[in-house]
Chains A and B, each alone.
Chain A
Amino acid sequence: MSLGRFLVRGKPDIRALTQVRDIRGLIAALDHRDFDVQWRAARALGTMGADATLPLINLLGYPDINTRLGAIEALGAIRDPRSTKVLAALLASHETSEIRWAAALALGEIGDKTVTPALLSALRDDDRYVRYGAAKALGQIGWSAETDQDRAFYCIALQDWDAIKKLGTSATGPLIDMLKERHPAIRAQIVEILGFIGGVEAKKSCEQVLRDPDGDVRWRAVLSSRQCGVPTSYLPLQISKRQRTGPSAFGATLLNFFFLGIGYDYVGKWWGLLILETYIMLLTLAQLELGPFMPFLIFYPITALFATQTYFMVKRESEMAG
């Protein structure tokens, strides 16, 4: 987009553009600043029929995300079978989850049954929106689950937790697979259901989530472990092996020894930089007075004291975080 166009862009008249079937004009309106204009342009493009299919497909490599999303939306409305292949490719491998999500929904609108395998693998996506979109699309094309595993993935995608509980042990595998989910709340929900279902496999995964970085997920795992028959005496050791997300005590100590103050900054104390400034200032002044090396002999014993204090401070704080 050129700068001039960005500055002096009025509101395009979507209705007029629609009447004269100006596909290029409507496409240009897709990245308009005003969300309402984008919205109406995408809808209008959807009414243009198969004429618009090829220009819209060409748009899928455009850098602006709103344009791409608008194009996918319009393709979903046009329902031209020529676009299914491109959309399935986007769904399978595009890096932006919104694009994958939109592609899944558009495939549902088009309703071509040949894309079922692509949608089924999208049920296993690690983004909840993509999974949800794929499940919706499968519903639209009239798919019904043939295996228990597919049904389980479908229910997980719709977050229909009651239905999953009813599936019993056949849902265990898919649930464990979905522990890769980024949202802690969903991981916690999965762990809870695994505990409800029980069984040997679930037992193993409960052990894995005992080391989850999220405190709430770990706690649910503790509760579920008991239901799965994991011996209680076994839990504390597993919990202690959890992924630590907080700052490392050793790192903070080392930093504070060499650059007094930055270690405090590293563990999140705002006044760390204040100390660093003062320290560097004193060091430089001392160096101007005593030469480059002598001041270190004076300063290192002092920073060593601070470093020791830092070590115990960080240890104590990470202990409290549980």
Chain B
Amino acid sequence: MNKWFRISVLLILPLAAVTVGLSLGSEAISPLEIFSCIPGGECTLRAEVLLKLRLPRVIIAMFAGAALSVSGAAFQSVFRNPLADPFITGVSGGAALGISAAVIAGMGPVAVMVMASVGSLAAIAMIYAVSAIRGITGNGLVLSGVALSFIFSSSVMLIFSMARSEDVHRIIIWLMGDLSYQGNIPVTWICLSILTAMFILFMFHRHLDIISMGRGFSLSSGVSDFELRMVILLASVLAALAVLLGGIIPFVGLMVPHLVRMVAGPDHYRLVPLSAVAGGSFLVLADAFSRSVIVPYEIPAGVVTGFCGGMFFLFYVIKNRPEI
């Protein structure tokens, strides 16, 4: 009963988060005003304008947060490592390099997105190749992910050292996690892809349960290398899609799956959907906070998730002393 209560709270959370996300900002509107804009209601002009500005942003935050958390949940199970996060295989580094190269070359916003995709896909392809050649051992993949990340970040630093300062600033804003909608990305398609990838990953929930017991166990239980690679691929693609939506937003994919595991247990039948819901809600709230805390400035959402998430997580680790 207690568990079901907690689970239903997690389902109400996204609705509450969306309402908060729509009402907070440099200018606040009340939830009542928001509800009056549901078709059939009498919407004030002010509310309509603010909603039009904020709704895409809330949607972006919801989907990016969901993708990051589900990806993190999957990676934590695959690598059996509480420190695993969506960017463990180097996807974010690949995207960062793609973006930096595109900005430096003076490409337009659309081309920057294309380059970000190319960078993340390159990282995914390399990890896949490593897993195919060297076999899928948790440590091997994690270590190659770390190595890839270093190669990518050094390349980004190289670009920084040669770039004009305004370009560097543009890149940094992007890398910090920026959820503002600039009309340069096909949001609908990315969100649909995220939904699809999450759904397919959910279909692997029993695989994930067994994979989380370790490779020897999962292999002798009948989970093939191909299936394990599929799971890694899906989780990497989710991370890459989240990067396209909102840049490199830290910590959501590390912290949220942990907390959901504490509430809902290790069963991926619940863990995957609940991570999606909780991660999306968390990012929507973090973004609302980042827009309204120092008006009229907007702190990048990544700064908020990193800061608040880090503080909260530190508290959790000290208090609970997890066996790491």
Answer whether A and B are interacting partners.
Answer: no
Give the B-binding residues of A (Cβ under 8 A): none
Give the A-binding residues of B (Cβ under 8 A): none
